[in-house]
Every structure is written in structure tokens, then in C-alpha cells.
Amino acid sequence: MRLQTEIVNGICPTCYHNGVLVSLFKNHYRCVTCGSDLEQKVNGQITYIPMGDPKTKIVFAEDHGPEKA
């Protein structure tokens, strides 16, 4: 798997904040303000549209508390 990271400034269509969008895959971004997943569309101008179901919560890692040695 090849990751292509990118950080851009843009306006999130979900929270309407002008902020930072982070990408790990080509044309797929996440708003660092609200956590919404976005897809970049280029059609004369760059726009970001929400991806998938906004009620879906993505968990990258679960916190199981302190580890015991």
C-alpha cells in the first residue's frame, strides 16, 4: 500500500470553517476541525464534498487504558 500525504487549506462543506484538510490517499481528505471525510473534485475549481454517511464514526485506535507490564 502506498500512502501519499498532503496538507491543504480549504473550507470544509460540513462545518463551514476555513481550516486544514489532511490527505493520506489521493483526493480523499479529512477536516481537522470536525473530522469529516471529504473527496476532492476538480472541475475548473477545486471543491470538497462530504464522503459517505456523516453518521459513521471512524476509530483509528481504541484506548484500552494503561498497559500492564
pLDDT digits over 34-52, tens only?
Answer: 888 888 887 766 677 676 6
pLDDT digit string, tens, across residues 4-13: 788 888 888 8
Contact 39, 28 (CB under 8 A): yes
Look at the block and give the residue holding cell 494503561.
66
Domain limits of the chain?
6-50
CA distance 41 to 1: 23
Look up the pTM and report it: 0.60
Grid cell of 29 as nine digits:
481528505
Average pLDDT, the chain: 76
